[in-house]
Amino acid sequence: MTVGSQVKGTVASLKGVKATLETFASLQTYSDNQDLLNNTCETLNSVIGSLERRVAELEMQEPQYKGL
Amino acid sequence: MPEWSIILLRVIGVLFLTLLLVRMPGRKSLSRLSPFELISVLVIGFTAALWSLNLIGDLLTIIIALAVWVLIPQIFSILSLKSKKFRDIYRGQETILVHQGKVLEEKLLREKLSPEDLLSMLRSNRVFNFADIEMAVLEPDGELNLLLRKEQQPLTPHSIGIPMLQEQAPQTVLIDGNIMEEKLAALGLNRHWLLTELIKLGVAVENVFMGQVDSAGQLYLDLFDDQIKVPQPTIKEMTRATLNKCQADLELFSLSSRADSAKKVYSDAARDIKNISTGLESLLSR
């Protein structure tokens, strides 16, 4: 496995976690919990974004491993 | 009419009458009745029993006697709700027996309790040392309630400063194979969701004895056949484990990359994920 595909795996896991937390958020009746989960999802989003930019850099460096 | 049939009729009549009369004091359990109410209930019972066996008086006398014994306690209890002064006399007042670890002897004497009585009441509250007590109160009904000193109180998340999130109570959405639509609606779910979850677990609705959904939308099932094992949901545990794994992976990437800019991307991401998992700690623990 190349570094690129490893990072892609982590990004995919994080996306899965984000989806689960979004489902949680929609079921919460206490607004505190909803806010916490929504904020968490935003943070996760930015983390995913920065990792995806890193993946793009890696794909530039190793074009032979481009794509999934 | 033979005598036994008269008695039978009377007994049945009295049974229903007392059923009505005894419910009159409201939804208080028998031990919560004031002494006076307790006596009135006993007298009503005895009068009814004696009359039903044809041992005393004619019907009119009995009805008058019962009416007095039912109405006067009723009037008293209504009065005691209206007036604080009357309530104190009628139901009695609570007495503080132990204050800040010191036994108040004169109060004990006034309630006609021996030191052994007090110790035994403390022990039934699982307190063996009176010095551990901030305040012990003898309620009018003879029950002892106590507050322990701060350092003796059980540890709660609040007392050690761990913030906890509120969690709504689990809803019971399936009983005896019947789907409780309104309970599902309270969580914003519907029967299709429930049926899909059941299909995922490979369980038919009619085989389920009880099903509950927790605040995270996880379904917990109990089947009629206890030999069959239903997998318990692990979404929360899985989420937490995935977060921890991602954090570890990112730290590894940061260690193994040579370019400083790449290192920083990974270590920042790892730090963010760590913050997220500590923030969600109380929500993801069960």
Structure ipTM: 0.89
Cα separation of B179 and B194, whole Å? 9
Q: How many CB atoms lie within 10 A of CB B175?
A: 14
Cα separation of B109 and B28, whole Å? 30
Cα separation of A21 and A25, whole Å? 6
Contacts of B81 (CB under 8 A, 6+ apart): B87
Beta pairing partners, B222: B210
The mean per-residue pLDDT over the stretch A47-62 comes to 90
Contacts of B266 (CB under 8 A, 6+ apart): A54, B250, B251, B253, B254, B257
- 10-residue mean pLDDT profile of chain B (286 residues): values are 80 80 64 76 83 76 83 86 88 90 92 92 93 92 90 90 82 91 87 92 91 87 88 87 94 90 92 91 78
Q: Give pLDDT tens digits for B32-62.
A: 777 777 888 888 888 888 877 777 777 788 8
User: Contacts of residue A7 in chain B, CB cutoff 8 Å?
Assistant: 253
Residue A22's pLDDT band, with cuts at 50, 70 and 90, is: very high
User: Contacts of residue A54 in chain B, CB cutoff 8 Å?
Assistant: 262, 265-266
What are the Cα distances from residue B126, in Å, to A34, B130, B136, B152?
A: 41, 11, 13, 12
What are the Cα distances from residue B212, in Å, to B195, B217, B223, B225?
A: 13, 9, 12, 17
pLDDT at position B28 = 62
Q: What distance, in Å, lies between the first and last C-alpha atoms of chain A?
A: 12
Contact B254, B270 (CB under 8 A): yes
Contact B133, B101 (CB under 8 A): yes
Contact B257, B138 (CB under 8 A): no
Cα separation of B275 and B273, whole Å? 5
Q: Give pLDDT tens digits for B124-149.
A: 999 999 899 999 999 887 889 999 99
Domain ranges of chain A: 3-65
Mutate to test the interface with B, among A5, A17, A20 (most CBs of B within 10 A): A17
Judge whether B258 is closer than 8 Å to chain A, CB to CB: no
- How many A×B Cβ pairs under 8 Å? 78
- 3-state helix, strand, coil split of chain B in percent (to 5) is 55, 15, 30
Beta strands B133-138 and B95-99 are antiparallel
Strand extents, DSSP E, B100-229: 102-103, 133-138, 144-148, 171-175, 178-179, 208-213, 219-223
Judge whether B216 is closer than 8 Å to chain A, CB to CB: yes
pLDDT at position B161 = 85
Residues within 8 A of A (CB atoms), B 151-180 only: 165-168
> Which strand (E) or helix (H) includes residue B35?
helix B35-52
**Would you state the structure tokens that stand for residue B264, as one six-digit string?**
């920083």
DSSP string for residues in A31-61: HHHHHHHHHHHHHHHHHHHHHHHHHHHHHHH
- The alpha-helical segments, DSSP class H, found in B202-234 are none
B100: which DSSP letter?
T
pLDDT at position B144 = 92
